[in-house]
Structure 1
């Protein structure tokens, strides 16, 4: 058995319901909006609050590529490696998105 050392999009189509992921996820200094576009999902990642004044670029957009339900990857411009984006729900029912080393709850 070979252990996978990198993560990448699934080779075969993955059945995902966009409604499970679409919405706004927000924490201090960050707002992530997941939208459906052209049959796929897009992550709009925004720096907010005081940190936005320090960042040269406050908005980034990434196409989400499914690996399996709840697990997607994005590819940042200029990078070959894929970065994981994980969706999960806490025991209390709160949905979260986790990417870039940070967990962010869904709001509204």
Structure 2
């Protein structure tokens, strides 16, 4: 076992200058620390198998799930079941940092709807 943080985790860039760090990268469980700059959004999509939980650490996010808008502040989260179309957004001018916990992993299980 090794202590993990965004300073030693595998990093990647996604979307419009958004960052992700793999804190846990297994086949049955994924935990990713993500940062979205202001005025960015991911592409609307869904997962056939993966259940996800989005938990905001800092900033203010909007998670739209099946047409329902959820405003999520620090220390708040929303669960997204398999098959639910969703889109994470940062409509503010400040960064938002959050965790995305997926079970099982979303690798190979992402279907874009736009």
* TM-score normalised per structure 1: 0.32
Larger radius of gyration: 1
Instruction: Point out the structure with the larger helix share.
Output: 1
Instruction: Point out the structure with the larger strand share.
Output: 2
Bigger RCO of structures 1 and 2 (CA < 8 A, at least 6 apart)? 2
